[in-house]
Amino acid sequence: MSEPTASATGLSDGSPIDWYFDFISPFAYLQWQRLRREVPSLRISPHPVLFAGLLKHWNNTGPVEIPPKRGWTYAHCLWMAHRHQIPMRLPPRHPFNPLPLLRLSIALGNTTEVVDRLFRFVWQDGQLPDDTDAWVALLAELNVHHETLASDTVKKQLIKNGDAAIAAGVFGVPTAVVRSQCFWGVDATDMLIAWLREDAFFSSAEWHRAYTLPEGQGRR
């Protein structure tokens, strides 16, 4: 049986998937690019969240906070970009404070065009919010005043997004939530697309067993 085309893929009721992300994440950038290219009919509802907040809540560590993993993470991202022919340029420093980008996205309604532009700002143009000239130029391009980003409404929405992510079981970015099922990470992109295409694998007993496997011996 031939595989359905990506253009025919989407939720049967036409509703969007919830997609939790942070502009600090190169993996989020890569998945955004892949989903936009490979599943153009898919409706995505982007929810900016502070990745650091998720790490703190789940007592976790970011990949670039582990010294041997740091360089590998960037190199792996560049390889994936090369593999999928996605333009990518590392910013001058990483990690960085993503709050201005997250708040800017919220202030502008998290539209596809806005999310695209802000991802490009970091991961294609290689620019950051603390690069004053580039940041001021971006705000002018988008016709946003700096004071808008400091509004209580924008700040509270970012907090609400984080709370909603945690309530949904989101522990990292990017994560797509489809009818309560979480798909975490760029490595799960193919898995997410298969789910959307109603692959029979997700009805198998072994798939369901993965969520009920008894816990064995833990580390001491």
Percent of the chain with pLDDT over 90: 91
CA distance 190 to 174: 14
**Is residue 166 within 8 Å of 175, Cβ to Cβ?**
no
CA distance 94 to 115: 19
- The separation between CA 119 and the C-alpha centre of its own chain, rounded to angstroms, equals 10
CA distance 70 to 22: 18
On the question of pLDDT at 70 being above 50, the answer is yes
- The DSSP code for 145 is -
pLDDT at 15: 82
Residue 32 confidence class, pLDDT cut points 50, 70, 90: very high
pLDDT at 14: 73
Residue 59 confidence class, pLDDT cut points 50, 70, 90: very high
Mean confidence (pLDDT) of the chain: 94
pLDDT digits (tens, 9 = 90+) for 157-184: 999 999 999 999 999 999 999 999 999 9
pLDDT digits (tens, 9 = 90+) for 103-160: 999 999 999 999 999 999 999 999 999 999 999 999 999 999 999 999 999 999 999 9
